[in-house]
């Protein structure tokens, strides 16, 4: 009998000063994957980690039998697309610091919100975005950790609000990215930006379009979130699985697509106010099972 692969379910967790609590917290809630900030998400100043701390994390991750992968998330203040020279430079330096830590931790990727063009338009901001990304990658030559561009919910003038915008960034970076620019697809952002995947048929259309526009080989991970806002609301508001406007059925329809079977799905839900809990991880797995049931009946 052929056993179908099981989607790895993860969660964003607190890392603590020596990073290792992230693995313990992930195991505590039953996660296969963890995602962490390597510094305060709303501060410019990077955390300084010793080589010993970073090596200890790599070693612990290598032998962990429960939490199999780690992702990092870049600081929210980073804006590679803005016009302000000071913010742009601080963003570049902050991204470089975040990426250096993620690489040294052995992370599977550094997830990044590209930023906002502040009304200048996507095309005007594109060259500086690509320059910053390539410059950051060049600072860690030969590394295996990619920068993972996340789709935006469409709020304001955010960059990456459509698959086409993300594809344009990847194409503009070209071979100089050395295969280290990939994509994270956030389910709430996708819904808020107006993409409906509320049935198996609609979900299949979304996955097919992703493959056509970007390529499934460049999908590194999913951010798995329900939504506090309606389809097309263009607002970034996460909700616990099954408690929002998307619902477990629609999420299951997407998550159960065979092409996504081994793509890590990382929860960024509020839980009870302190992030994902064991019951949220269980709800995510139940949504996948629900979707598989829908597909078997169709």
What residue ranges do the domains of the chain occupy? 9-297
Euclidean distance between CA atoms 224 and 263, whole angstroms? 11
Per-residue pLDDT at 3 exceeds 50: no
pLDDT tens, position by position, 48-82:
999 999 999 999 999 999 999 999 999 999 999 99
Q: Are 232 and 193 in contact (CB under 8 A)?
A: yes
**What tokens were used for 34?**
């963890």
Alpha carbon of 246 to those of 15, 36, 107, 249, 252: distances in Å? 29, 25, 30, 8, 10
- The pLDDT, as a whole number, for residue 135 is 98
| More confidently predicted of 261 and 142 | 261
**Inter-axis angle of helices 278-297 and 200-213, to 10 degrees?**
100
> Would you say domain 9-297 falls under CATH 3.90.1150.10?
no
**Range 135-144 average pLDDT:** 94
**Range 249-278 average pLDDT:** 97
Global pTM value:
0.96
pLDDT tens, position by position, 141-164:
989 999 999 999 998 899 999 999
Per-residue pLDDT at 12 exceeds 90: yes
Percent of the chain exceeding pLDDT 90 equals: 94
Mean pLDDT of the chain: 96
Euclidean distance between CA atoms 45 and 193, whole angstroms? 31
């Amino acid at each position: 009998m052929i056993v179908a692969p099981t989607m790895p379910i993860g969660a964003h967790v607190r890392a603590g000063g020596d990073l290792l609590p992230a693995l313990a917290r992930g195991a505590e809630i039953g996660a296969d994957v963890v995602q962490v900030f390597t510094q305060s998400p709303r501060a410019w100043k990077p955390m300084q980690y010793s080589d010993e701390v970073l090596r200890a994390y790599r070693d612990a991750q290598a032998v962990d039998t429960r939490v199999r992968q780690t992702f990092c998330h870049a600081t929210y203040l980073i804006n590679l697309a803005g016009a302000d020279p000071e913010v742009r430079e601080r963003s570049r330096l902050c991204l470089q610091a975040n990426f250096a830590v993620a690489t040294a931790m052995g992370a599977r990727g550094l997830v990044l919100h590209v930023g906002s063009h502040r009304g200048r338009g996507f095309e005007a901001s594109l060259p500086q975005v690509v320059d910053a990304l390539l410059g950051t990658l060049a600072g860690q030559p030969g590394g295996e950790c990619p920068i993972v561009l996340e789709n935006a919910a469409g709020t304001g003038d955010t960059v990456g609000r459509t698959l086409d915008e993300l594809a344009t960034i990847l194409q503009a970076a070209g071979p100089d990215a050395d295969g280290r620019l990939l994509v994270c697809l956030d389910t709430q952002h996708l819904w808020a930006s107006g993409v409906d995947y509320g049935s198996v048929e609609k979900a299949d259309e979304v996955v097919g379009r992703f493959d056509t526009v970007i390529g499934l080989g460049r999908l590194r991970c999913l951010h798995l979130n329900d939504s506090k806002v309606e389809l097309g609301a263009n607002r970034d508001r996460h909700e616990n699985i099954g408690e929002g406007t998307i619902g477990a059925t629609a999420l299951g329809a997407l998550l159960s697509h065979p092409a996504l079977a081994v793509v890590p799905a990382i929860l960024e839900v509020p839980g009870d106010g302190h992030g994902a809990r064991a019951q949220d991880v269980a709800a995510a797995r139940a949504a996948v099972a629900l979707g598989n049931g829908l597909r078997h009946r169709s």
